[in-house]
Amino acid sequence: MILSAKAVALFAVLMALAMGVVAQQPSHENNVQIERISDIPAGSKLSFDHSIEIAGAVGSGSQVSVTKGGVKIHGDVQDNVTLEIQNGSTIIVTRASSMVSNSGSTIVITESQNGSSITINGQQIETGTTEAVGGFSGIEIQGNVGKHAHLKTDASIMVAGNVGATSSLKANGGINVGGDIGRGASLAAGGGINVKNIGDDVQADAGGHIAAFNIGRNANLDAGGSMHVRDVAAGTTLDAGGSVTTGTLASGAKVNAGGSIDAQAADANDVSAGGSMRIGGVKIRRVVDFN
């Protein structure tokens, strides 16, 4: 059997990826440079063209930029820190054509083997998705993020601890925070947002879903997909393209869902749903004013 030039090129790329590539995020690869640093002193201004791993903290007022990789931080990110991460190593799979190209640290495959997915090193990747490959991609912080910090990446952000007041997190991928979001902070994600508790006056925008426990006063949550939260304080607005599932909606809260709404209890000003609506297990009409 004679293979076409495009088929040979695709096969070569897949074989190269299969030699030790594991599609996880963040991930490691032997031939990718990862610089390991003890800590970053306060006020530092540093830039890297490769992934970095920081054993300690990033000092207050520091400005750190990373291209062609990501950052993993084992300590805290202190107040007024700016982290900007670009061009993390990714695999992008689409169905645009049968062309195959390798653009720096990003491998773009525009035709899959079966029209819906490919398999690399035993892991199936659906078309139209993005997966990390090699080094770090995005930002991973195993500690806390202080006040007035600014984190930005074209991949995803993961924080094990809390995010301080008025901090800003922006990611083309998802945002995952194991702790609380401080007052006045802002989160913007192309994918989903998963956090513990959201404080007062927080702005959260997600292209995908939003999941959280308690939501503070006067917060504004906007999700392109579904939203799953517990208790919602007064003055908060929930706007979801999909369904909304919540516990108690306090007075002054507003909810708008393109899909269904399911709330355990509500004393809200305005609740509307494109689909069905249940409050306390009772099905009610789609637009409700509880005043």
Confidence of residue 66 (pLDDT cuts 50, 70, 90): confident
Reported pTM:
0.73
Percent of the chain exceeding pLDDT 90 equals 46
- Among the listed residues 158, 216, 165, the one whose alpha carbon sits nearest the alpha carbon of residue 192: 158
Maximal CA-CA distance, the chain: 74
Residue 46, number of CB atoms within 10 A of its CB: 14
For 145-201, how does the pLDDT look when each residue is reduced to its tens digit (9 = 90+)? 999 999 998 888 999 999 999 999 999 889 999 999 999 999 999 999 999 999 999
204 or 87: which leads in pLDDT? 204
φ/ψ of residue 268, rounded to 5: -90, 160
Q: Look at residue 202 and tell me whether its pLDDT is greater than 90.
A: yes
What is the per-residue pLDDT for 7? 44
Highest mean pLDDT among 6-20, 203-217, 246-260, 273-287: 203-217
How far apart are alpha carbons 282 and 184 in whole angstroms?
A: 35
Q: Look at residue 269 and tell me whether its pLDDT is greater than 80.
A: no
Q: Look at residue 102 and tell me whether its pLDDT is greater than 80.
A: no
What string of DSSP letters covers 22-56?
A: ---SS---TTS-EEEES-B-TT-EEEESSEEEESS
69 or 209: which leads in pLDDT? 209
Q: Look at residue 84 and tell me whether its pLDDT is greater than 50.
A: yes
How far apart are alpha carbons 267 and 202 in whole angstroms?
A: 21
Return all residues near 180 (Cβ < 8 A) that are at least 6 apart. 162, 163, 195, 196, 197, 198, 199
Q: Compute the Cα dihedral for 238, 242, 246, 248 and give only its sign.
A: positive
65 or 19: which leads in pLDDT? 65
Confidence of residue 32 (pLDDT cuts 50, 70, 90): low
* For residues 209-218, average pLDDT: 95
* For residues 243-254, average pLDDT: 90
Paired tokens of 57: 């903290």
